[in-house]
Amino acid sequence: MDKRVKKQPAPTTLYLADGSVVSGTIFLAGQSARHSGPETVGELLTDPSPMLRFKLGADRFQLIGKTGIAAARTVSGTRPPGFYANVHATMTMWGGHRFEGQLLVEEGHDRVSDAVNEPWLRVESQGGLVWANRNLILKLETRS
C-alpha cells in the first residue's frame, strides 16, 4: 500500500538571499491540514522541515535551505483563504530582489504591521503571488 500523499506540481521561481534566482517546481499537498482546500506555498515554507524539495527540469532535484529563500513567486498562485489586498507595497530583499504589488493582509487586520508579523508576507504582483521572507526584507515601502 502506497502511503505517500498525492502532491500537485506548482511552477515556482525562488529568489535566494545570495542574489541567485532558480526556476522550477515545488509540490503542494492537495489538502491542507489547516483549512479546506489545497496546501498554500506559505504553509509549505513554514512547515518544520528546514529544506525545500525543488525540481529543476525533468529529473533533477535540489534541496534548498528555507532560511536562504528571500521570496518564492508562483505565476498561477491564488490568493490564500482569508486574505485581502490592503495597500500597495514595494519590497527590497536580500540579494537585491525587488517586488511591487498589493500587500495581502488577513481579514480582520487593517495595519501593515499585522502583515509583517507573519513569517512570510504575501504580495500580488504581475499576475502572480509572491511569498516574501520577512527576515530577509531590507526595505518595505507602502502607500494607500
Residue with cell 498562485: 77
- For residue 97, is pLDDT > 80? yes
Tell me what pLDDT residue 78 has.
67
Sheet of 7-16: strand order equals 60-65, 51-56, 21-29, 7-16, 69-74, 128-133, 120-125, 98-106, 83-93, 137-143
pTM: 0.88
pLDDT digits over 48-70, tens only? 999 999 999 888 999 999 999 99
User: Which neighbouring-strand residues pair with 113?
Assistant: none
pLDDT digits over 9-32, tens only? 999 999 999 999 999 999 998 877
Query: In the CATH scheme, what is the code of domain 83-143?
Result: 2.30.30
53-84: b (≥16 Cβ within 10 Å) or e: ebbeeeeeeeebebebbbbbbbeebeebeebe
- For residue 113, is pLDDT > 70? yes
Give SS3 for 46.
helix
Query: In the CATH scheme, what is the code of domain 7-74?
Result: 2.30.30
Residue ranges matching CATH 2.30.30 in the chain: 7-74, 83-143
Rg over CA atoms, the chain: 15
Count of Cβ atoms closer than 10 Å to residue 14 Cβ: 20
- For residue 116, is pLDDT > 90? no
